[in-house]
Structures are given as C-alpha cells and as structure tokens.
Structure 1
C-alpha cells in the first residue's frame, strides 16, 4: 500500500506579510489553541462577580474543565467608568466587590485560568457605543495596564479595536504596543485581538496576517447564533458565513498563532437560533480550523445536548492536535475540507448546505491517497466506521449537518 497525502494549501490575502515578524507574539504559551468560556454572548454588560463564579463552578462540575475548557474570560463592562487616582484600572465596585485579583484567585484555585477584556483605543466597545459610561480603554496606558493585568495574575487578554478610525497604521501601533507591554511583564498571557469594528467586506483581521502581534486574531465581525446573515455586511455573521470567510486563511495558523472565527454559539439563545445539526457544524468546522474553542452559553442551565456537543472528546482532540495545522477546502469545494493531524493523519469534514438530507462523497485521489490503498474512516461524532469503495468514501449527511471523518 502507498499512502501519500498531498496536503491542502490555502491562498492567503496578505498584502504586507506577517505583521510583527515570524516569531510567536507571546512566548511561553501552549502551542495548541486555547479553550474556555466568555461572558459576552449570554450576559453582555450584566456580568457580575457572582455570575463568573457560578459559570466557573459549572465548568468544573460538568467536566468541561477536564475536557480542556479552562479560560474564564470576563468581557466588556467589568471596569469602573473611571480609573483610580494613579491612573490604574479598577473593578466596578457594585458588581465586582471583591476586585479582579480576588476573582482571579478564585478561578486559579479551581484549576482555571483568568481572562479579561480591554480596548485598544481610549474606549471599550460599549463605551464607544454609549451603552456603558467612561473612557477606560488601554490606549496610552499599555504599560500600566499590562502591569496591572500581570499583578492580577491574568492569563488571557481580549483586546478590542473600538474606534471609528480603522487606519491600518494606527491599528498596528496600538496592538503592537500592548503586545510589547505584555512581553515586558514576563507573564505568558494569551493575547487575543479583534481589529474589526463593524467593518464591511474584508475586515482588517482577514486582510492582514497579525500572527507576529497576537496569539489569536479575529478574522470576521461578530458571530450571531444563526446559520447565515448577509456575509458582506458590517453586522454580525452566521456560522456558515464565518466558515466561508476563514477558508482562505489556513496558512496563517501554527503553534501559538491562531485565526479566531469568534466564540462558539453552541447552546446560546437566539432568534431563530441554530438547530442541533448547525451547532454540530460549528463545532466541527472550528475544530477543522484549529480555532480557539471559547463557549458563550449559560453553563448553569445548558441542556444535555449542548453539554454533549461541547464535551465531545474526539472533536476536541482534532482541534487540539499538536500538529497545529488548519484545514481548507478540497478541490475548492466549500462543503468538503481536509486537515492534516499528527504525523500522517487526516481529517475530512463534509457539510451539507442543502435544505434536504443527501449522500456526500469524497474521492481518495482528491485527498492525495494514491496507489493500492485500503481506507476506512471513523465519524468523530458517532463513532461509526465507513469503508472506502470504488475510490471514494460516501456518507449520508443531514440538513446543515457535518460529518467529521478521521481517515485510518
């Protein structure tokens, strides 16, 4: 038998090369993408210390922590509208009465990691929109704020571009300044940036490769818990819109450098929301991208179905594979992707975008499997084994569902 996987190479729209150089942005971090939970999609500005503690406890009790979901990220609206007299950030006292250092300690005592949010301009996003008071973004305070985050034992910083000015040079200056400030603290903090602020068409996170500046870079506008919106708009995007936006960017992914297609919306309430099959597609395709898996649902009241999706160990293992390579479409077919894993492994996803169930096939030759080959594949979701026949693997796929096959 001869097995020769030729690989999948995606073209990258990259007008300036890799911003920040070839090295990783922040040293000392795991090579594989981070996993965890973020407060924004469910709680928004209503986040409190008590809610964060309850969500953290649920990560432990449900087994999600042990499955890999360890970062607990407090998004916008945690900070007081005014800085302290010495210019440092401080917690909003009525909702975070114990302070952020104490909250970080609570998380660390439970084997979790502590994440916080800040803005790369003079305001956070809610402050820019006028829905939260103050101007406490970190622009101009990068060194002081980075020292504060390190003192609070922060492990993850979500850093948002919130400004009406999307000048590329200004963005590079702002995001690089915080990267350098984090480096100077000596603390290995996951640095997650979002250069996109309601930008239509190709957003800055997709247009430029920020891999030398940040650990993970948002490549789309915000996600919504829907299958599809208008993918060219400046508003939220659906799951399949984001999959399409990511397909050309696989070459940017590597150890400690990830494309961020935004948070998981598995189990997040929405109108009309996502079917179970569509949620399975999001988990599958985020794993194919080697993307960070950051849940955003209410962990204290999720269904068994939601927990089973988030906790599927075979899918998580694909996402967390130590080869850290992202998948891309096979033969320019947006419904069929391949991703290399391990030393010689291969995973194939088949996504049915039609409004009716149908059989889907992938040829072995399109995967670079040539010669006298006997091939079988195991579905990561069901454990079902498929055998190749007549040079191809065929599976039945439901509406908007994805079958995730590990080739053996």
Structure 2
C-alpha cells in the first residue's frame, strides 16, 4: 500500500499508443525545405500518457544525422496528438525519419520510422523545351488531335512546318488539329520561343494504320476513385493536367474506368451514361478543348466487373456510340465474359477481342484499344494479332512493394512482344494519393519504391497511367512524373522493352536499347539493405571498352568509365542510367 509508484506495463502503453507516420505526407518546397506532421494515437478511453518524443532524420547515404529534436509530450485519452517538425535536406539525400516515444512510467519505448521523399528531378529551365514522343501515329480521314508538350516560361510561341495536308497548329497553344488527307510519313519541324530562348525538334507524324506508336501516357480513375468516379472528377483531372504542367511533359489521356454506365439501355439498345455522366459529348469537348484525349471503359460480357452494363451483343452499337461521343481510348475488361466463354481455349479467349476490333475498325475515329484480361492465355503472344494496342499481362496492382515488384520484375518473358503500337501493360501507377475510392490515402510505397516503380515501368515501355488524386499532388509526386529524361526512356521511338540481363541475389540489371544507339539501364536493389556494388558493363550485355554514363533521375553526367562503375543502391531502390559507348 505504501510502496513505490508502480510502472505501467508495456501492455498498458504499447497496446494504446501508436505512431501514424503515413497519414500526413511530407511537404517539400524548393526541393530542400521539409515539413512533417507526426501523429501519435492514444486509443485508451481513460489513461493519459506523458513522456518524451524523440525525432531524428538520418541521411541514409552517409548515416549523418541532419535533424534531431526531443520534446515533452502529453497524450490525452482517446485523442490523437500532432507534432510538427521542419528541417532542411540540403543534399536532397535519401533520408529516414526515426521517431520514439518514452512514457514517463515505463521503461519501454514505442518506435516508428518512415522514409522521407527526396526530389532528384531538377526543375525545368525557363527557356522552352519540347518534350514528349518524337513519333505519333494517326489514321488518314479521322479527327486528329495532338498537344505539343512544352515546358518553359510563358508565354511561348509555336511554329510548325511540314504538317501534312489537312492539319493546322495553333501558335499559342501548340495544339494540332484537323484530318490528314493521305497516308505517309511527315517529318514536322517544331520551333518554340519565349523570352528565355528557343528550342527545335522534329515530330514524325506517321499517317497509316497503327496507333500508339509510343506507350499511352495519361490518367485513369480506378486506382483513386473506383466506382465513385463522376464527370466533375474527370473534368478536374483534365484541369489538373494543365495547372500542374503534366500535359507539358506529354501526359495526354484522361480515362474513365468502371462506374459511368446507366443501369439500362435505351429502347433502341444504345448505352448511355448514368446520373454521374449525363452528357459525354460535352465532357469530351471539354477535355479536347485542352488538347487532351478522353478514354472510357467497358466489358465484352453482359456486365462490367463493378456490375454495370457491358457491351455483350452490342459491340458495333457501342463502338459507334463511343465514336459519336468523341472517345479516344477504350479499356475492354474481361469481367463477366467468363460466363459466356465456352472454355479457356485460345479461340474463346480471343473471340470477344476480335469482335470489338472489327467494331472499332468500322467507326470514323482513332480509338486506342486496351485489352484487359489479366494475362490469360499468354495474351502478350497474341494481343497484337487481335488488334490490341496494349494488353494487361497481370492481375490488378496494389500500392505495396510485394504487389508492384512482384508484377514489374516478372515482365521479362513478355519482352519480345512489345513494339510500336503494341505494348505489354503491367497495370497502372500507384504513386500519390490512391485508395480505389471514395476514401483515399497516400500510397504505401516508400520513396525509393516509387523511384523503382517509375523507372521499371519506363524501361518496360509500359503504358503510364497515373492513378492518383491530381488535386493532391505534392512536389515529390510531381517530380516522379515530370522527369523528361526518364519519360523519354518510356517514349523512345524504337519501341523496345527492357530485358533482365543480370541477377545476383537481390540485385538485378535491366537494359533497354534506345533509338539513338545508346542504352538505358536500371540497376535495382530488391533487398532490405542498401548496397554498394561495382557494375560491369559486360554484365549489362554491352560491348565496348569505354562508356559515357548519365544519371537520368538527376539529369547529370557521371563521367567516362572503363569496364565498370561503382554505384550505391538504396533498399528497394534504383539507379537509372543512360549509357553511351565512346568511340
């Protein structure tokens, strides 16, 4: 009764107090100024806890502590407590935030840690720069729409020479419209000017039968909004492509996934939008006015995966409706067609996609054709034969390391089947705020895992479809999606997919030949510890003695090297290089 005050058992504290380091993302300004809100939750209904909160930020590249703070803190019963920190990451280094809470009446310590995002992409210069693909495919006689991606100080004036007959360019917006009269290859010379300088590039417009000569780049509603998507969210995404400058880096498709379809067709069998999508012509006009393109979703079965109407027995009618609406992209998802197919034979797997291909060929509009059937029957071997521009090679991705890495690093077998107009699709991107709607949250991928995600998808020549809430894009996510040298690897006109050329434990090398004779190489660390390695150029399957090497994320030349180069690779991270043999 008169003994010393008892200590609270670990169970009393540890079962009630936890850190939440993920709900409030890091805020970064000017690449080096960081702010972070640390949240501690006390779920006890009656006990308050006093203690000491200790915070450290460690540069993981050299183990140097760049920020340290200790403060007394009071955690009220049933409440969450927020604590804000600010620090400068002057080297834009890969950092780890470590937090601990030491209760006054316990010897136990509650700990948590999270990687801090770090921005490698340099800001674009004030002088104008032409970004995006260097080749673009379209069909003669069909409506043509292409927005030239241009960064730099505004205003910018655009001069375009060599356009095929039937096209015109707006010198203020850089939007090219019209209809091409005749087939052919048309090298178009684009010159852009502002008060800071001039840039010139050649865009090859290939008027023929093949679309998607480089992988589509855009946004899809599914990974963020799921079935809660509506027209206002789609318009907001289109607005964000311009306000955030994503469109200036080549992002162009605004794609609506499942959840737009009315519960019943009209008496004549036409499909319409539901109460969330009352006028698709107006919506496509809104998107097209910005130089962007609009995509939509359906299924060859009677119902979509979300239980909405599919296109079964209305294929030609739906394709015509989409064309009349001004649709530019269709994702065609297997879903309920599994109940229609007689078996899993190759003929039955291909049948609904061949039918929709015929329907799309019958309309007077270019519509990108995305097959979504999760890789059944090795679709990469025959997706092009049924007229697909891209085909899913896997099940749905989620925002975890196991999902993303498990999908991405298994794409090697499909590599030979990628080519201009025909792309392997390992599913959409899971960076930024995602959640499959309506409640969303920051991605669970660490910063290094996000660098791996974008690097690997770029090397794979995969379609790049952002799946996050664009209104909540932070500087780090923007930096991932606007590095033009990284995106150029994805959009390279040669159209080759990277091959896995070397594996040693947790280390993998992937190389991709580029149209200019150089190679892109991704050096990946799939392990839980950082690694310092010597990369031999012979292990990258490169032949030569001397190489010039450039770090694509940092947009920085690393120098000239013989035989090998020393690299430091963070856990679950990557170094993405461009390698040129020196003559």
TM-score, normalized by length of structure 2? Answer: 0.59
Change (3 A) 1:368 1:42: closer
Asked if 1:220 corresponds to 2:394, the answer is yes
The residue number in structure 2 matching 1:141 is: 314
Q: Residues 357-393 of structure 1: CA distance to partner in whole angstroms, max 9, x if unpaired?
A: 111333222334334x221211111123334655112
Q: What is residue 355 of structure 1 aligned with on the other side?
A: 528
The SS at the match of 2:546 is coil
Where 2:409 maps in the other structure, the secondary structure is: helix
Indicate conservation of the 8 Å contact 1:350/1:360, yes or no.
no
Tell me which of 96, 113, 118 is aligned to 2:293. 113
Asked if the contact 1:355–1:400 (Cα under 8 Å) also holds between the matched residues in 2, the reply is yes
Aligned residue in 1 for 2:358: 180
Q: How far is 1:171 from its partner?
A: 2.3
Q: Greater helix percent: which structure?
A: 1
- 1:41 and 1:30 map into 2 onto residues whose CA distance is 23
Contact 1:113 1:154 in 2 (8 A): yes
Contact 1:206 1:220 in 2 (8 A): no
Q: In the alignment, does 2:211 pair up with 1:29? A: yes
- How many pairs align? 359
**Displacement of 1:223 after TM fit?**
0.4
How much has 1:205 moved relative to structure 2? 4.8
Classify 1:261/1:359 alpha carbon distance in 2 versus 1 (closer, same or farther; 3 Å).
same
Cα offsets for 1:175-205 (capped at 9, x unmatched): 1100111011132210001112xxxxx7435
CA contact (8 A) 2:546 2:562 kept: no
- 1:255 equivalent to 2:420? Answer yes
Contact 1:204–1:219 (Cα < 8 Å) also in 2:
no
After superposition, the C-alpha distances for 1:237-285 in whole angstroms (9 at most, x for unaligned) are x111111221111100001000001001111446871011101111000
Q: Distance in 1 between matches of 2:418 and 2:272?
A: 35
- Does residue 376 (structure 1) correspond to residue 557 (structure 2)? The answer is no
User: Cα gap change, 1:368/1:205 in structure 2, threshold over 3 Å: closer, same or farther?
Assistant: closer
Which has a greater percent of strand? 2
CA distance, structure 2, for counterparts of residue 114 and residue 178 of structure 1: 18
Deviation for aligned residue 1:81: 1.1
Match of 2:494 in 1: 323
* 8 Å contact from structure 2 (residues 547, 562) kept in 1: no
Quick one: distance in 2 between partners of 1:117 and 1:328? Answer: 31
Check the 8 A contact 1:239/1:282 in 2, yes or no: yes
Cα deviation, residue 28, structure 1: 4.3
Unaligned stretches of 5+ residues in structure 2: 1-207, 436-440
- Alpha-carbon contact 2:210-2:421 (below 8 Å) kept: no
TM-score (norm 1): 0.84
Task: Indicate whether 1:95 and 2:276 are aligned.
Answer: yes
Q: Quick check: which has more Rg, 1 or 2?
A: 2
Q: 1:67 aligns with which of 240, 243, 249?
A: 249
Structure 2 residue aligned with 1:307 = 478
In structure 1, the gaps of 5 or more residues are: 1-25, 128-133, 197-201, 229-237
Match of 1:393 among 541, 562, 565: 565
Q: Spell out the pairing of 1:66-85 with structure 2 (5 A cutoff).
A: 66-85=248-267
Deviations 1:293-326 (A, max 9, x none): 1001000111110011011111111100111100
Q: Tell me if structure 2 keeps the 8 A contact 1:205–1:220.
A: no
Give matches, 1:235-274, under 5 Å: 238-269=403-434, 273-274=444-445
Instruction: Tell me, in whole angstroms, the C-alpha distance in 2 between the residues paired with 1:327 and 1:206.
Output: 18
Given that residues 251 and 326 in structure 1 are in contact (C-alpha distance below 8 angstroms), is that contact kept between their aligned partners in structure 2?
yes
SS in 2 for 1:300: helix
**Residue in 2 that maps onto 1:340:** 513
**Which residue in the other structure is 1:162 paired with?**
335
Distance, in Å, in 2 between the alignment partners of 1:325 and 1:257 is: 10
In structure 2, the residue matched to 1:9 is: none
Would the aligned equivalents of 2:212 and 2:389 in 1 still touch at CA under 8 Å? no
SS state of the match for residue 370, structure 2?
Answer: strand
Give the Å deviation of 1:332: 5.1
Aligned to 1:42, what secondary structure does the other structure show?
Answer: helix
| Alpha-carbon distance in 2 for matches of 1:262, 1:81 | 27
Cα RMSD between the aligned structures? 1.9
Q: Secondary structure at the match of 1:309?
A: helix
CA distance, structure 2, for counterparts of residue 226 and residue 388 of structure 1: 37
- Please say which of residues 244-253 and 280-289 is displaced more in the overlay: 244-253
Structure 1 residue 209 corresponds to structure 2 residue 343:
no
CA deviation profile, 1:43-83 (whole Å, cap 9, x unmatched): 01111111111111001111101211110001001010111
Q: Is the 8 A contact 2:217 2:252 kept in 1?
A: yes
Q: Does 1:367 align with 2:548?
A: no
